[in-house]
A and B are shown apart, each in its own frame.
Chain A
Amino acid sequence: MVHPEEIQRYIEQGLACEHVRVAGDGHHFEAVVVSAEFRGKSRVQQHQLVYRALGDRMREEIHALAMQTFTPEDWAAANR
């Protein structure tokens, strides 16, 4: 079983992030990722960056990961 903390660590190691939060019950996960790397990229490209950070480590479980990506600016606006 995969723990949300492991997924969070993988993302942090593979991508320069301002903020990462992963929640889940071991079967389904939800990730919120904030990174300056997302600036100027489409949503598809943003999610691809996170998938790349995860690499092959979640090949089996990745289908159960729901994801939201934000640039630091969008994140600040969303939390205002």
Chain B
Amino acid sequence: MDAQQTIKQQVTSNPVVLYMKGTPHFPQCGFSAMAVQILRACGVEEFFSVNVLDEPEIRNGVKEYANWPTIPQLYVNGEFVGGSDIMREMYESGELQKVLAKQAA
């Protein structure tokens, strides 16, 4: 499987997927740390995360997949939601909680 197929499989077989630098317990970038905090603030404790620092092919592939040049990237139900700026804006407006509540229901 190439990187694009792997990513497609990951985002479609898990309701919430975060591509990040480091792990949820040990993020290695401030933006990735913020993304994890926002998910937890929305009540999402369990999510599928990929540490792109361990997977260079995924790290490059995910930028192409969503036509988005930065990490972290959040996917819900297979849809690209955004990076950390968008996650923060959506969290502050309450939109992200709604998007995430749908997948939990």
**Residue of A48, A62, A63 with most chain B CB atoms under a 10 A cut-off:** A63
Min CB distance, A4 to chain B, in Å? 17
Contact A47 B67 (CB under 8 A): no
For the A-B complex, the count of residue pairs with Cβ-Cβ distances under 8 Å equals: 34
B85 at interface by CB-CB < 8 Å: yes
A44 in contact with B70 given A63-B31, A68-B89 (CB within 8 Å): no
Contact A51 B69 (CB under 8 A): yes
In this complex, how many residues of chain B approach chain A with their Cβ under 8 Å: the count is: 17
Q: How far apart sit A68 and B84, CA to CA, in the bound complex (Å)?
A: 11
A68 in contact with B85 given A44-B80, A63-B31 (CB within 8 Å): yes
- Interface of A, secondary structure class, is helix
Contact A44 B85 (CB under 8 A): no
Contact A44 B89 (CB under 8 A): no
Q: Which residues of B contact A (CB under 8 A)?
A: 29, 31, 66-71, 80-86, 89-90
What 19 additional pairs, Cβ within 8 angstroms, besides A48-B67, A63-B70, A68-B89?
A43-B82, A43-B86, A43-B89, A43-B90, A44-B66, A44-B86, A47-B68, A47-B82, A47-B83, A47-B85, A47-B86, A48-B68, A51-B68, A51-B69, A59-B69, A63-B29, A63-B31, A65-B70, A66-B84
